Amino acid sequence: MIKKVLVANRGEIAVRIIRSCRELGLPTVAVYSDADRKAMHVLYADEACHIGPSPSIESYLNIENIIGAARKSGADAIHPGYGFLSENPVFSERCSREGIIFIGPSSHAISTMGDKITARKTMTAAGVPVVPGTDECITSEEEALSVIDQIGLPVMIKASAGGGGKGMRLVQKATEVKSALRAARSEAKTAFGNDAVFIEKYIESPHHIEFQILADGHGNAVHLFERECSVQRRHQKIVEETPSPILTPERRRQMGDTAVAAARAVNYQGAGTIEFIVDSQLNYYFLEMNTRLQVEHPITERVVGVDLVKEQIHIANGLPLTLKQELLEQNGHAIECRVYAEDPANNFMPAPGRVTHIDIPYGVGVRVDGSIYEGFEIPLFYDPLIAKLIVWGKDRKEALERTRRALQEFKIAGVKNNLKFLERIVNAPGFVLGDYTTHFIEENKEALLKDDPCDSDCEDIVIITAFMEYIRLMEKASPGEMTALKNNWKNYSRIRSVLKL
Ligand code: ADP
């Protein structure tokens, strides 16, 4: 049985994992780089080990230093979170050689699913539908054109080692093949050190719908239904919801069964996600498997009523799943909004800096998984995801209304962020109707990204007016009331910064 968990990650996911460990009574060890000395996961864990300089390649991706930290702290298990080393088969293998439990699947499952060409072949052999295309690596324009002859245009050229939407090019005309092939290969080489690419039919106006699965070492596997992840910018998710507004019960059941079959085909153990691309007729095709916890896992937790991190630990302890497929159901509706320190108006450029003020929303049905606090310096070295707002409602309408309310309450000052952009998404007619595809942001760019110079000025005027009211109340207040007023004055530090006090 696991006795102490080292969390080989940072930010909101490290905090989230530590929370479940704490509920299980498991001591935790955080790891941190120079830039993260004062990060929330470091403050929150029972112990913390420094693992190197700020660039991730020298710290969060440094296998030797992380294994060293586990040895030093006596951790007998490592949870990799997502990103960083979570899908690195060498790391998973190294943990087992060191006698450390890797809270995740075997290195075989990671490498089979981590390479998109191998995954396509494995899935085809298991009878899982894949997007029409090639299972071979394409190196020349001639090879590409001959595949296109068979499947027709448009197509996607995709990196076999791909992730994060990198190394992917859309080809609509035969004359674009040469340059798209060159661009995809060179981007893949730079991002993944591997320039293998393949070709898939481009699915027009698709949905990205993924299924959460859990599988143990005793032959049991279940799915925990879907997450609709079609709101994407640059092929990366930004708002997710469950249930999907477009799935019928019948198609949901079929896709769930297919997801379980896909996991079984690689003897999967742990939590994983089978991603599908779905066309307008609800035909679905395997896109890839993510052999780890997903950023958007909390919406599944909320609607299905499980703690996925605890399930991962349970499975890593070699215990059989206690969940039964026939007893699992979706209860209500959940929406996740990813809060980034970035500038949507400036091509979503990351915007690191010091957080001078934060108001986190609370109340019925609201969960915030975050990692920032007032005074925290968001480092420029890592992904700018700083918090996730997860909202539950008894149905989609209530979840949507509650998300809007929570986003209105959410305030972050000091760094540029996408809160306003998220608010516009959840108010956009297409989103409200549940009628959107992966092109939603691109198609609504103007409305979602409209420059609103008035925003910050208006906000300042509201703050100044509120401040005058505050002074008026303070003048009349008794000492007890004054303390209460001060404590309740949520925007106090923001007011100070606006008024330069
Ligand atoms: P990555 O591993 O880089 O995230 P995926 O294969 O998961 O790449 O695809 C990411 C996104 O790119 C999908 O959610 C979808 O929006 C788009 N996409 C990928 N393949 C196709 C395709 N064949 N047709 C249309 N869109 C696609």
479 confidence band (pLDDT: 50, 70, 90): confident
**What value does the mean pLDDT take over residues 480-484?**
74
- pTM beyond 0.85: the answer is yes
Is residue 198 within 6 Å of ligand 1 at its C-beta? Answer: no
Nearest CA to ligand 1 atom 11: 235
Instruction: Verify whether residue 94 is a known catalytic residue.
Output: no
SS (HEC) of 410-440: CEEECCCCCHHHHHHHHHCHHHHHCCCCCCH
Is residue 318 within 6 Å of ligand 1 at its C-beta? Answer: no
pLDDT, one tens digit per residue, over 164-213 is 888 999 999 999 999 999 999 999 999 999 999 999 999 999 999 999 99
**What value does the mean pLDDT take over residues 456-479?**
67
Residue identified by tokens 């979570």 is: 86
Q: pLDDT at residue 453 above 60?
A: no
Is residue 291 within 6 Å of ligand 1 at its C-beta? Answer: no
- CA 232 to ligand 1 center in whole angstroms: 10
pLDDT, one tens digit per residue, over 67-81 is 999 999 999 999 999
Ligand 1 pocket test, pick from 87, 130, 287 with the greatest ligand atom count within 8 Å of Cβ, gives: 287
Please name which of 431, 491, 2 lies closest in space to residue 240, comparing C-alpha atoms: 431
d(CA 448, CA 113): 35
Nearest CA to ligand 1 atom 21: 202
Q: Counting atoms of ligand 1 from 1, which one is nearest the CA of 229? A: 14
- CA 358 to ligand 1 center in whole angstroms: 34
Please name which of 100, 132, 93 lies closest in space to residue 114, comparing C-alpha atoms: 93
Angle, nearest 10°, between helix axes 141-151 and 177-192?
110
Share of the chain above pLDDT 90, in %: 87
Strands 333-340 and 377-378: unpaired
pLDDT, one tens digit per residue, over 25-82 is 999 999 999 999 999 999 999 999 999 999 999 999 999 999 999 999 999 999 999 9
**What value does the mean pLDDT take over residues 289-317?**
98
Q: pLDDT at residue 372 above 70?
A: yes
Instruction: Return phi, psi of residue 396, to 5°.
Output: -60, -40
- CA 245 to ligand 1 center in whole angstroms: 20
d(CA 162, CA 88): 13
Kind and range of the H or E element at 369? strand 366-370
The Cα-based distances of 286 to 117, 133, 136, 420, 449 in angstroms read: 12, 12, 17, 34, 32
Is residue 235 within 6 Å of ligand 1 at its C-beta? Answer: yes
- CA 277 to ligand 1 center in whole angstroms: 8
- CA 278 to ligand 1 center in whole angstroms: 11
Is residue 205 within 6 Å of ligand 1 at its C-beta? Answer: no
d(CA 232, CA 132): 23
Kind and range of the H or E element at 300? helix 297-300
Contacts of residues 254-259 at CB distance under 8 Å and 24 or more positions apart, as own/partner, are 254/284, 255/209, 255/211, 255/226, 255/284, 256/211, 256/223, 256/225, 256/226, 257/223, 258/128, 258/129, 258/284, 258/286, 259/211, 259/213, 259/223
Name the catalytic one among 10, 227, 252, 292: 292
Please name which of 429, 428, 422, 168 lies closest in space to residue 277, comparing C-alpha atoms: 168
User: What pLDDT does 29 receive?
Assistant: 98
Kind and range of the H or E element at 76? none
Lowest-confidence region among 226-240, 366-380, 463-477? 463-477
d(CA 421, CA 416): 11
- CA 200 to ligand 1 center in whole angstroms: 10
pLDDT, one tens digit per residue, over 100-142 is 999 999 999 999 999 999 999 999 999 999 999 999 999 999 9
Range list of β-strands (E), 5-85: 5-7, 28-33, 47-52, 77-79
Q: Counting atoms of ligand 1 from 1, which one is nearest the CA of 208? A: 14
